[in-house]
Chain A
Amino acid sequence: MSFASDARAPADSLFRRNLRAFAANRLAFGSAIVVLIFVVMAVFAPWIAPHDPAATDLFRRLQPPAWMEGGDWAFPLGCDALGRDILSRIIYGARISIFIGVAVILVATVVGILAGLAAGYLRGWVDIVISRIVDILLGFPYLIFAIGLMAMMGPGLANIILVMAYKEWVIPCRVVRGETLAVRELEYVEAARAVGASDRHIMLREILPNILSPVLVVATIRMADVIILEAALSFLGLGVQPPTASWGAMVADGRAFILESWWVSTFPGVAILLLVLAINVASQGLRDAFDPRFSE
C-alpha cells in the first residue's frame, strides 16, 4: 500500500498486480481459458454448430459417436433419440447455461450489494429486517425451494432466472454486509461524514469500491452452483422447455437409453462437469489473487 512510491505508477496498480498474480497461477489461468472457450461457443453457436440443434432425422436415431461402429464424422458425438446432433445441441446448450448463470448472478449481486450495504451501513431496524430475511431464505434447501417456486410460476427462461435470483442474492448480501461493517468504522468514512456526505454517497462511493474484490470472487464461485442448479431444474423438466437445448434436459432425455446408447446422456453431463469444474478452479485462483484473506 504505502511502499508504492513510484511516481508513474499506473492508476489502479493494485488491480493490475492482482491480475498478474492470477495469471501466474497456471491451473487457474488454464481453467479461465476453458471457461472462455465455453463462452465463445455460446456466443457464436450458430456459426460453430455443424447442424441445426432442433433438426430431427429419424434415420439417425441414437446414432453412436463417430469413432464407434455406425458412427459418422458429420455427427462427431452421435445423435439422440430424435436423431438430433448431440454436439450441436451441447454448443447451443452452453448458451442457456451461461446466459442463465450470468443473469442470475448479475441480478443477485446487484440486489445483494444494495441490501448488504443498507444492512451493514444503516444498521438498526434495516439491518434486523434484512438479516432475518436472509436467515429465513438460508434455512430453505435451495433445490426444494426452486422446485416449489417453479411449479407455482410455471417454466420459462425469465421464471428460472427470477426463482434462482430470489434466493441467490442472500449470498452476496451477507458478504457485503460483513465487509461493510468493517469498512464503515474506518476513518475515511468518518471523514466523508465530516464534510457532509450523504448516506447514499458514503455507501456507493466510499464503501462499495473498497469491498468489490470479495464480491467479485463470490460471484464467480456461485456461478458454478447456479449452472448446476439450472441443469438440475431442466433435468426435472422444470427448466427451459423443449425443443430448446439445455444440458440438464439432454441428460434427462438420455436416461431411458443409458445402457445401450450411453452417449446421449454422457456428453452433456461431461459438458456440465467441465464448465463447472473450470469455473470453480478459476474462481479459486481469483480468490487467492484478489482476496488472499480467505485462501486456505
Chain B
Amino acid sequence: MTGALLQVEGLSKTYVGRMSLVGRLLGRRPTAVRAVSDVSLDIERGEILGLIGESGCGKSTLGRAILRLHEPSAGRVTFDGTDVTALSPAAMTAMRRRMQIIFQDPYASLNPRRTVADIVGLPLQLHGLASGRAAQRETVAEMLEKVGLKAGQIDRYPHQFSGGQRQRIGIARALISRPDFVVCDEPVSALDVSIQAQIIQLLQDLKREFALTYLFISHDISVIGYLADRVAVMYLGEIVEQGPVEAVLSRPRHPYTQSLLSAVPKVEATARTDRVRLTGDLPSPLNPPSGCKFHTRCPLAIDICRRSAPHRETVGQGHDAACHRLHEGLSITDGGSAA
C-alpha cells in the first residue's frame, strides 16, 4: 500500500517489571508484559481506522506507541514517509505538531491550574505557530468557536466546564496545530450518551474541514460501525482481524470478532437471541496463552490452536484474519459443538 499516511510494522510494546536486588542476584528474569505484540497496520490518508477490543487488550498502548508517548520496544512507524521511531528527540518534538491525540478522560487530561487560553494555546507556543501573545489568543479563540465553544470562555479554568465542553477543549488542543493524523483514544466513552453523538458529529465535521486522518480507538462497535472506514480488532495485544468496516461487521471471520458482534444489543423484533457469551476473563498478558492467544476462550478451538499461533490470511478485499479454522467456514454461533 503506497498511499498510506501511516504505516505500522511489527510494533511491540513490552513493559519490563523492576527487579529486586535479591531477584537479580538469584538470576531471575524480570516479569515482562507484552501489551502490544507485533502489530502491523496501514492507515490511508483521509480515512478513519477503527480499533476495537476489550479493555486491557492494548488498544490505548498501541495508540500511544504510535505517537511515541510510550516508546515502542520493537517495530517501526512510518508517517508520511518519515520513520518516526528513528527520529531524534528534537525532530520528534517538531513532528508532534502533525500527529496528535485526543484523550479519553476529559477531566484528567486538562490541567486544573491552567486556563483554556494556556491549554489550547500551548501547541502554538511550543511550535512557534503564533507571532505574539495577542495573535495566539486570537487563534485560540477561533479554534474554540470551531469546536463549539465561545471565544469569551478563553480565560476560564477547566473546572468551569461540563464533561462534553471539556472534551471540546481537548479536541481544540489537538487540532490547533493543524495536524494530519489524530489518535482518538476512546474520546466519547467517558461522556453521557446524549453528549457522545454531538462529539462524534464534531469529530466528523472537523475531519472534513481539516482533512484529517483518524485512528479511532473504541470498545463500542456501534460507534466504530458508524464512523470508521476500516476496522481492526485487537485481542491481547494482537490484531486478529482487519478489513473494511462493512465486511468485518457483516461477515466477521475471526471467532473473537464474531463473539464481539454477537454481544451488541439489537433492537429488532426478529432479533434472535443466539448471543455467544465468552467464558472467562481476558487472560493475563503477564502469562499469555500458548499458540493462538484466543484459544482459552474460543468455542472453536482445536488442538493446533493450543500449539501454534495462526498467521494473518487474506479473506477478502483488504480483509484479513488470523485463525487456524478460517477456511472451514465456521461461525461460533453454529460451531459451538465442534469444540
The interface of chain A, by Cβ under 8 A from chain B, is 1-2, 4-7, 9, 11-12, 14, 186-188, 190-198, 201, 205-206, 209-210
Contacts and interface: CB of A to CB of B under 8 A. Distances in A.
A6 B67 CA distance: 37
Given A194-B96, A195-B96, A195-B173, A4 B108 contact: no
Interface in B169-198: 170, 173-174, 177
B69 A195 contact: no
B94 A9 contact: no
B138 to A, nearest CB: 19
Nearest to B105: A187
A195 B122 contact: yes
23 contacts: A1-B112, A1-B159, A2-B163, A4-B159, A6-B160, A186-B108, A187-B104, A187-B109, A188-B108, A190-B69, A190-B109, A192-B111, A192-B122, A193-B69, A194-B69, A194-B101, A195-B126, A195-B174, A195-B177, A196-B126, A198-B93, A209-B114, A210-B112
Contacts, number: 76
List the 8 closest pairs (A to B, CB-CB), nearest first: A196-B96, A209-B113, A187-B108, A187-B109, A195-B123, A188-B111, A196-B93, A194-B101
Interface of B: 64, 67, 69, 93-94, 96-97, 100-101, 103-105, 107-114, 122-123, 126-127, 155, 157, 159-160, 162-163, 170, 173-174, 177
Contacts of A1: 107, 112, 159
The secondary-structure label for the interface of chain B is: loop
Contacts of B97: 196
Contacts of B112: 1, 14, 210
Contacts of A195: 96, 100, 122-123, 126, 173-174, 177
Nearest to A195: B123
Given A4-B159, A195-B173, 19 more contacts: A1-B159, A4-B160, A6-B160, A11-B155, A14-B112, A186-B108, A187-B103, A187-B105, A188-B109, A188-B111, A190-B103, A191-B101, A191-B103, A193-B69, A196-B123, A197-B126, A205-B114, A206-B111, A206-B114
B217 to A, nearest CB: 14
Which of B112, B123, B160, B174 lies at the interface centre, i.e. has the most chain A CB atoms within 10 A of its CB?
A: B160
Which of B113, B155, B177 lies at the interface centre, i.e. has the most chain A CB atoms within 10 A of its CB?
A: B113
Contacts of A5: 160, 162
Contacts of A194: 67, 69, 96, 100-101, 174
A87 B111 CA distance: 51
Contacts of A186: 108
A194 B64 CA distance: 9
Given A1-B112, A197-B122, A210-B111, A191 B159 contact: no
A191 B109 contact: yes
Nearest to A188: B111
A38 to B, nearest CB: 32
B113 A210 contact: yes
Contacts of A209: 111, 113-114
A192 B331 CA distance: 45
A201 B112 CA distance: 16
A197 B125 CA distance: 10
Contacts of B162: 5
A204 to B, nearest CB: 12
